Structure 1
């Protein structure tokens, strides 16, 4: 009996497999080849270990304000010490940045100059705030480029103060080491997985000292991956993803959060061109972050984000800044 005829073999891979391999090649090229240009970066700038900060135990505004003032003074001392160490090391730019951060009137809840630097700065009156925004930054944010990050926090606080009718504060949270753009770390969730429990703990502390305040996470670019990883069990009332490459989740339900989830992207943001897929690379590691959060299928509430670029969401007077402030205030954004 003759064997059944086999279908002819083809030398062309299925279209999905070809696209998968092409995407993998592109991502690996970006992750490996692009950073070569920056391979000769200066070594880490040393900094002294920070002194353990005393706990914030008060919740009554005047008592909390006294504790916060003491905390801010301690962190200014730590910043000045780090600036002296950086100067001695020859890192004059880092030293100048740290001296600016240590000026009177600046208010840091936390600072650690080691491993690239960590910090959390308060813009506004946290002791009496009824609406609190926590800014979670994306790639390339660090102590040497901190001014731009802080400028966004100041612009947001100014907008909130003019429009919300409530006491507000913005917390610029540089609580993890953001990856460099184009690096392997910027295309994989490793840094976000490390940062997520730190962000969740930070929000819990904010909620503990200001239990009646509404807390919103504003998550830019790679910061949206951090927020997605921290979403389950977070004490935040809302999570806003903007300029996002994806979250590593297919839809909102996978975030397992009680918080309202918003998403927006400016029409001029280059991140729209990033492929929204996840490609396994090594066991337990993948490249890419999956579904676009502004895709209706993701299930987030969407807001208008104007026509600016990837770094323009907190630009003074801009559409996205106005709508982000409205979300923080618990209001509906315009043009949603």
Structure 2
């Protein structure tokens, strides 16, 4: 009997040891993968960036203090600046950028900010911001610039369409597409760290403060953040006057829990079943003195967010018309939280 007992102890300890060794190997493998990604990005990104010349553009327009009374003047000044930027880009021979700028200069566009220099920045309003009862602010992820802005614009338009279709009669809504920071390239060292998010956070805080000055305290404001944009929102969260914070397709936020964001907002998270970000290792590790990765998966129970259903969509499908995720986002923005379907 003593022999059987010794054998059982060895088996139990052996299995425990195997599990520990397996976990150690997994962490080591992810560290090697992250290091490989860093090396690849360090080679590829400088070469691709060097191939594109700087596009000339005027400095941003001088704008009045944002308020309900000054919105029309702000929109007009930014449209005029976008038209001037289009002429400069065309003269430089970059017709793609010139076309993007001309689109933004169209009479119907409502631009709170426009800067055509470099990758470019733009903040655009969909709906009547001054009279809105509910406002959603969208924060994009990597590879978003003036050259790819049409994709981001489409997500904002889709959310505003959903809000318009589902809001109770007499309820007014607006969506703000906030491309207010230099987003990282998907294949780059910057997309693996919080550096760009740290730079962007003060800008997002300043913008939400200005937004409150326009819409007032009675209007609900929801922050809807996608991919790397979730890292930006997490870095700014403690100082944002918002009601809800939705994290979509997040690689992690850099915080271990929703409570660590130190925000009074309700924190939501969702990931589509076909979203490739599910394969991203949710770890943080130090490589050459740099912290790489973003930690806890926001849809995990350990993070503590309100997890809602996003259907079978992929990484770019959260705002697809007719999708489960778009319907749930509209419910969150409208404050119909009891109607949000959970994952």
The equivalences for 1:1-336 within 5 A come to 16-34=23-41, 36-37=43-44, 39-40=47-48, 41-57=51-67, 64=68, 66-165=69-168, 166-211=171-216, 212-283=218-289, 285-332=290-337, 333-336=339-342
Give the Cα separation in 2 of the matches to 1:35 and 1:316. Answer: 37
Give the Cα separation in 1 of the matches to 2:201 and 2:100. Answer: 26
CA offset digits 1:234-278 (Å, max 9, x no partner)? 101110001000000100111011111000000010000000000
CA contact (8 A) 2:269 2:299 kept: yes
CA contact (8 A) 1:20 1:279 kept: no
Q: Report the CA distance between 1:114 and its aligned residue.
A: 1.6
Q: Report the CA distance between 1:46 and its aligned residue.
A: 2.3
CA offset digits 1:34-88 (Å, max 9, x no partner)? 564552341332211113211024xxxxxx2x41111100000110111111112
In the comparison of the two structures, how many residue pairs are matched? 316
Give the Cα separation in 1 of the matches to 2:288 and 2:244. Answer: 33
CA contact (8 A) 1:32 1:183 kept: no
Give the Cα separation in 1 of the matches to 2:153 and 2:326. Answer: 14
TM-score, normalising length: structure 2: 0.89
CA contact (8 A) 2:184 2:190 kept: yes
CA contact (8 A) 2:66 2:213 kept: no
Name the counterpart of 1:7. none
In structure 1, runs of 5+ residues without a counterpart are 1-12, 58-63
Give the Cα separation in 2 of the matches to 1:225 and 1:157. Answer: 24
Q: Report the CA distance between 1:23 and its aligned residue.
A: 1.8
Give the Cα separation in 1 of the matches to 2:323 and 2:269. Answer: 16
Q: Which structure features the higher share of helix residues?
A: 2
CA contact (8 A) 1:160 1:168 kept: yes
Name the counterpart of 2:12. none
Computed over aligned residues only, the root mean square deviation of the Cα atoms, in angstroms, reads 1.6
Give the Cα separation in 1 of the matches to 2:80 and 2:245. Answer: 33
* SS across alignment from 1:135: strand
Give the Cα separation in 2 of the matches to 1:189 and 1:282. Answer: 15
